[in-house]
């Protein structure tokens, strides 16, 4: 049975250096271990296109297609385009079996089924949500996706990947050390009943994946793409110790990056991981304003502890990037000014997002959606949700910032994107971020 696994393209503005999205590669490895002939198309790698990949699947006469919708950018018009194409391919009998999986597919499952019930089946760790008419012959693929999503101990990791895959010097190996997330952020799809709680993989399995990558791909730069590498404070120390011992045991130096929460880190943990090649950490912060964190995002962050971690990371040469959401419906001018002032204090380089794009994206059935609906500021669209600012002064600043972006010269940015010149694109984006911060500083009289 021949199956094509597709990761939708997410956008043009972020350089993509990871060979394959981890969620895609682990699914491909699992399906291959069950005897399926797997073709992978990660549309973020080397700039391919989701719809072209779907049409390629039809031309190759595959037995099934799986689309991994595991990113909040698979949303609105982008998700509609995917569903429309799936519907056309199935109605034209060009592809008989198409499955959508990942938390964005299951978050919008009821809307997808209502909009186009024949487009695709939908499944995840909770099971098969939907099978269209005439797709029963594809049930086996759906059942395998469910098994993969559970990430049980017998999961092959990436060791089932095709050994003929060739990495290029700039590519990174993307791995998973866990599933789901322990946080209960109000805006996140993991907080709307999708799947189960955070579940770690055994460190022996993680080290096995690293060794497989080293032996077959020669890759020594690794990105851990799971939501939370450490999980919680209770097991963080033990996990770090097991991981660092495993890395030392490989006898080969590597560089790696992780995603985690600041409260799971300690200065001692940073020093230990620094010795084994830790270079970057992404921390889900979301806001520098305590009231916003607690009342809007439902996050608990010890700000003083965060500053301690930042200071130690700087001393060790570890780069910490803060995942950040500036624009949210309840923002006031005073809070906006405070956020910008604190952003300057901790260092603008720690926040990778363009500020104008750093706004709350609402996912169905989350506490954020219910909160905005109760306040009467939620709007509905096909496969998306919108909202209005409560504070009109903040809304005007946001609109003016958007207009400022539109008025900027776009030639350099467009050229860097079209040429896929990673170094040039990074420089142009960095310059734009600095200019954007200067715009806000001036507008807020800071």
Residue 211 pLDDT > 70, yes or no? yes
8-state DSSP, 159:
T
Pairing of strands 98-101, 121-124: parallel
Q: Convert the pLDDT of each residue in 242-298 to its tens digit.
A: 999 999 999 888 999 999 999 999 999 999 999 999 999 999 899 999 999 999 999
Ranking 170-174, 235-239, 427-431 by mean pLDDT, the lowest is 170-174
8-state DSSP, 201:
P
Q: Convert the pLDDT of each residue in 317-361 to its tens digit.
A: 999 999 999 999 999 999 999 999 999 999 988 998 877 779 999
* Phi, psi dihedral angles at 71 (to 5 degrees): -150, 140
C-alpha to C-alpha distance for 230 and 358, rounded to whole angstroms: 25
Nearest in space to 36 (alpha carbons), one of 13, 9, 72, 63: 63
C-beta separation of 293 from 326 below 8 A:
no
Q: Is 185 helix (H, G, I), strand (E, B) or coil?
A: coil
Mean pLDDT of all residues in the chain? 88
Q: Convert the pLDDT of each residue in 302-322 to its tens digit.
A: 999 999 999 999 999 999 999
Residue 14 pLDDT > 80, yes or no? no
Contacts of 198 (CB under 8 A, 6+ apart): 178, 179, 180, 181, 182, 227, 228, 231, 232
Q: Convert the pLDDT of each residue in 140-194 to its tens digit.
A: 999 999 999 888 889 999 998 876 566 666 667 889 999 888 888 899 887 655 5
C-alpha to C-alpha distance for 125 and 102, rounded to whole angstroms: 9
Tell me the CA end-to-end span of the chain in Å, nearest whole number.
62
pTM of the full predicted structure?
0.91
Q: Is 287 helix (H, G, I), strand (E, B) or coil?
A: coil
């Amino acid at each position: 049975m021949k199956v094509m696994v597709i990761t939708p393209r997410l956008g043009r503005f972020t350089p993509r250096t990871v060979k394959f999205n981890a969620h895609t590669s682990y699914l491909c490895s699992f399906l291959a271990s069950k005897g399926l002939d797997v073709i992978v198309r990660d549309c973020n790698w080397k700039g391919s296109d989701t719809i072209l990949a779907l049409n390629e699947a039809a031309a190759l006469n595959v037995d099934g297609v799986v689309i991994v919708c595991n990113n909040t950018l698979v949303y609105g018009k982008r998700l509609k385009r995917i569903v429309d194409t799936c519907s056309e391919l199935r109605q034209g009998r060009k592809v008989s079996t198409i499955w959508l999986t990942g938390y964005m597919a299951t978050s919008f499952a009821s809307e997808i089924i209502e909009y186009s019930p024949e487009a695709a089946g939908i499944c995840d760790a909770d099971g098969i949500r939907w099978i269209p008419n005439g797709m029963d012959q594809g049930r086996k693929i759906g059942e395998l996706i469910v098994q993969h999503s559970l990430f049980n101990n017998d999961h092959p990791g990436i060791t089932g990947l095709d050994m003929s895959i060739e990495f290029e010097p700039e590519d990174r190996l993307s791995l998973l050390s866990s599933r789901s997330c322990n946080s209960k952020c109000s805006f996140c799809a993991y907080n709307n009943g999708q799947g189960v709680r955070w579940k770690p993989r055994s460190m022996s399995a993680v080290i096995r994946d690293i060794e497989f990558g080293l032996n077959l791909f020669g890759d020594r730069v690794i990105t851990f793409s799971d939501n939370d590498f450490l999980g919680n404070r209770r097991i963080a120390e033990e996990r770090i110790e097991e991981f660092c011992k495993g890395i030392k045991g490989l006898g080969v130096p590597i560089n790696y990056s992780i995603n985690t929460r600041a409260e799971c880190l300690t200065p001692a943990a940073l020093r230990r991981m620094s010795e084994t090649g830790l270079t970057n950490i992404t921390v889900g912060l979301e806001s520098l304003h305590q009231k916003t964190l607690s009342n809007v995002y439902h996050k608990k962050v010890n700000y003083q502890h965060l500053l301690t971690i930042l200071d130690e990371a700087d001393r060790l040469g570890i780069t910490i990037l803060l995942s950040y959401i500036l624009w949210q419906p309840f923002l006031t001018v005073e809070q906006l000014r405070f956020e910008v002032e604190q952003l300057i204090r901790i260092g603008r380089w720690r926040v990778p997002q363009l500020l104008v794009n750093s706004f709350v994206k609402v996912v169905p059935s989350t506490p954020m959606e219910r909160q905005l609906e109760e306040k009467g500021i939620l709007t509905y669209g096909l496969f998306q949700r919108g909202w209005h600012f409560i504070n009109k002064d903040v809304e005007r600043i946001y609109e003016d910032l958007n207009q400022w972006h539109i008025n900027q010269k776009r030639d350099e940015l467009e050229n860097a994107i079209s040429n896929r010149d990673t170094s040039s694109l990074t420089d142009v984006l960095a310059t734009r971020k600095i200019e954007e911060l200067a715009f806000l500083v001036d507008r807020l009289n800071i």
